């Protein structure tokens, strides 16, 4: 008897991979071996439990963040990625260590610190060339329904983060307790959101 | 006998066709399309890696690495394979690279993190359907923990073969492609993995 062949057949039989004449012949061969049939039943039960108790799909924690980190890594490694011109990226902008709300607070706070400025300049959207040449920051908005866009213009000496879908900020909120700023000269001169209209000093 | 349980990937022809379209767009640099692909497949990749290494945070990072590598390798993706299977292949490499880096002796090791309390939460998505008696749900949760512990004691090759077959529902040929081996080797790994699991779970299945 060819032991190797038997073992292969046994493995396939236990996997329910034998069919037709092959199956019938093998089962005739082991017909007196009740232990084998019991073993197959145990394996079948185990397979059922594996399939039902262990999930085949588990949404990773912070799935939006998960995606945005991938995109950021790809952009860092690949440089600007060509995208269809007519379509704005559907990704939730880019990732930033701070949340979008903290970014908004940061920009607002910087705006209030810039005492020489009397008006927030609405920066024109940068051209594709400008975007491609400039280092791209990451913006991450953890809250569903909130989109963030970032614009920078040397002409306007302004960096603007536009948030869509964020709740209005209560007047009582103290931004200085929510952010930590090491350098005021980051160029973030102000902030404009559809909800808060235009922020003016 | 086809895959038992929640996945039946052979029926995903429509999904595969949609994947193919998204892959085609992503190859042209459309990151929106790639984002959709990531969203469609991140759950399976994350589950597979988490089941392999039993470390949630590492699995999160490694899953992202899979998709970053997949993006880089997209030009080499051949449509004759399913995108899902191709991703599993990349996940296989990522996990084994990570294992080598960490110099983990997988045989006999068991990471306590797999016993995180939330993983045996009776309300989790992997528990049996609603209507099940609480004591039965608890028993199923305990069985799941025992099965995970038993899987953790298998060699990585045996564990991966079982997970790809019984949890992810891949065909033998697909498993062979993912693991870079022959169908015969896959069958052999499954055979010995099941022998070992039977020994480890003897008390759970002997009297059924």
Domain-located, residue A191: yes
Token pair 């949609």 is at which residue?
A: B18
How many angstroms separate the CA atoms of B120 and B141, rounded?
A: 5
A-chain residue closest to B195, CA distance: A43
Domain-located, residue B195: no
B34 against A171, higher pLDDT: B34
Closest partner residue to A74 among B60, B68, B168, by Cβ? B68
Mark yes or no for CB contact B42/A50 under 8 Å.
Answer: no
Which residues make beta-bridge pairs with B189?
none
Query: Above 90 in pLDDT, residue B172?
Result: yes
Query: Above 90 in pLDDT, residue B85?
Result: yes
- Helix, strand, coil percentages for chain B (3-state, nearest 5): 75, 0, 25
Query: Above 80 in pLDDT, residue B162?
Result: yes
Query: Above 90 in pLDDT, residue A123?
Result: no
A164 with A95, same domain: the answer is yes
Domain that holds residue B92: 11-104
B184–chain A Cβ distance below 8 A for any pair: yes
B161–chain A Cβ distance below 8 A for any pair: no
A137 with A171, same domain: the answer is yes
Number of structural domains found in chain A: 2
B68–chain A Cβ distance below 8 A for any pair: yes
Element at A198 (helix H, strand E) = strand A197-198
Domain-located, residue A58: no
The whole-angstrom distance between B155's CA and the closest CA on chain A is 17
To the nearest whole percent, how much of chain B has pLDDT over 70? 77
B95: domain CATH number?
A: 1.10.1740.10
Query: Above 50 in pLDDT, residue B183?
Result: yes
Query: Above 60 in pLDDT, residue A121?
Result: no
Domain-located, residue B55: yes
Give the pair of three-digit tokens for residue B91: 């996940």
A72 with A13, same domain: the answer is no
- Concatenated DSSP letters for B69-99? HHHHHGGG--TTS-HHHHHHHHHHHHHHHHH
Mark yes or no for CB contact B166/A50 under 8 Å.
Answer: yes
Question: Helix (H, G, I), strand (E, B), or coil: what is residue B120?
Answer: helix
Give the pair of three-digit tokens for residue A53: 């108790």
Domain-located, residue B30: yes
To the nearest whole percent, how much of chain B has pLDDT over 90? 62
A144–chain B Cβ distance below 8 A for any pair: no
Q: Of B205, B206, B207, B208, which to mutate for an interface test with A (greatest number of A Cβ within 10 Å)?
A: B205
Which residues make beta-bridge pairs with A161?
A150
Domain-located, residue B141: no
B-chain residue closest to A74, CA distance: B68
Angle at B96 between CA B56 and CA B172, to 5 degrees: 95
Burial of A74 (0-12, 13-18, 19+ CB in 10 A): middle
Q: Which of 120-159 (B) contact A at CB < 8 A? A: 125-126, 128, 140, 143-144, 147-148
Domain-located, residue A135: yes
What is the pLDDT, as a whole number, of residue B44?
97
Closest partner residue to B60 among A11, A41, A66, by Cβ? A66
Element at A7 (helix H, strand E) = helix A3-14
The whole-angstrom distance between A71's CA and the closest CA on chain B is 8
What is the pLDDT, as a whole number, of residue A122?
41
Token pair 């084998």 is at which residue?
A: A36
Burial of B202 (0-12, 13-18, 19+ CB in 10 A): exposed
Query: Above 60 in pLDDT, residue A185?
Result: no
Domain-located, residue A165: yes
Query: Above 50 in pLDDT, residue A90?
Result: no
Contact B32, A83 (CB under 8 A): yes
Number of structural domains found in chain B: 1
Q: Which pLDDT band, with edges at 50, 70 and 90, does B204 fall under?
A: confident
Mark yes or no for CB contact B47/A14 under 8 Å.
Answer: no
How many angstroms separate the CA atoms of B75 and B26, rounded?
A: 10
**End-to-end Cα separation, chain A, in angstroms:** 92
User: Per residue in A50-89, pLDDT tens?
Assistant: 999 999 999 999 999 999 999 999 998 876 554 443 344 4
User: Per residue in A127-177, pLDDT tens?
Assistant: 444 444 455 666 666 666 777 777 776 666 677 777 777 777 666 666 555
Mark yes or no for CB contact A56/B38 under 8 Å.
Answer: no
The whole-angstrom distance between B67's CA and the closest CA on chain A is 7
Exposure string over B111-131, b if 16+ CB within 10 A, otherwise e: eeebeeeebbeeeeebbeeee
To the nearest whole percent, how much of chain A has pLDDT over 90? 24
Contact A150, A139 (CB under 8 A): yes
B120 against B51, higher pLDDT: B51
Domain that holds residue A15: 3-53
Contact B64, B84 (CB under 8 A): no
Could you tell me if the ipTM is greater than 0.90?
A: no
Query: Above 90 in pLDDT, residue B192?
Result: yes
What is the pLDDT, as a whole number, of residue A142?
67
The pTM of this model reads: 0.62
**Mean pLDDT along residues B179-203:** 93
User: Per residue in B97-117, pLDDT tens?
Assistant: 999 888 655 555 545 444 443
């Amino acid at each position: 008897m060819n032991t190797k062949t038997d073992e292969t057949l046994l493995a396939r039989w236990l996997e329910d991979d034998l069919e037709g004449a092959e199956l019938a012949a093998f089962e005739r061969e082991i017909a007196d071996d009740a232990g084998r049939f019991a073993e197959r039943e145990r394996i079948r039960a185990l397979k059922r439990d594996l399939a039902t108790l262990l999930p085949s799909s588990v949404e990773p924690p912070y799935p939006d963040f998960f995606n945005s980190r991938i995109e950021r890594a790809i952009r860092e490694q690949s440089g600007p990625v060509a995208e269809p011109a007519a379509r704005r990226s559907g990704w939730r902008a880019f990732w930033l260590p701070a949340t979008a709300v903290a970014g908004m607070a940061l920009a607002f706070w910087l705006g209030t610190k810039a005492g020489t400025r009397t008006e927030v300049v609405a920066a024109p959207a940068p051209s594709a060339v400008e975007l491609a040449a400039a280092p791209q920051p990451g913006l991450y908005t953890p809250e569903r329904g909130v989109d963030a866009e970032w614009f920078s213009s040397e002409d306007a000496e302004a960096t603007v983060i536009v948030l869509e879908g964020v709740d209005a900020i209560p007047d009582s909120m103290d931004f200085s307790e929510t952010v930590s700023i090491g350098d005021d000269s980051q160029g973030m001169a102000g902030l404009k959101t559809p909800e808060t209209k235009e922020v003016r000093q | 006998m086809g895959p038992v349980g929640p996945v039946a990937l052979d029926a995903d022809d429509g999904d595969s066709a949609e994947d193919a379209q998204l892959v085609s767009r992503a190859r042209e640099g459309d990151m929106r399309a790639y984002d959709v692909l990531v969203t469609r497949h991140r759950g399976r990749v994350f589950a597979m890696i988490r089941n392999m290494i039993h470390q949630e945070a590492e699995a999160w990072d490694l899953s992202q690495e899979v998709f970053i590598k997949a993006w880089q390798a997209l030009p080499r993706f051949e449509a004759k394979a399913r995108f899902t299977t191709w991703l599993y292949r990349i996940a296989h490499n990522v996990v084994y690279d990570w294992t080598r880096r960490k110099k983990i002796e997988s045989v006999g090791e068991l990471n306590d993190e797999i016993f995180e309390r939330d993983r045996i939460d009776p309300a989790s998505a992997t528990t049996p359907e609603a209507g099940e008696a609480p004591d039965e749900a608890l028993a199923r949760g305990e069985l799941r923990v025992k099965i995970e512990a038993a899987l953790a004691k298998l060699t990585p090759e045996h564990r991966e073969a079982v997970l790809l077959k019984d949890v992810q529902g891949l065909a033998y040929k697909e498993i062979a492609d993912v693991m870079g081996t022959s169908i015969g080797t896959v069958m052999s790994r499954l055979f010995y993995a099941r022998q070992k699991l039977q020994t480890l779970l003897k008390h759970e299945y002997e009297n059924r």
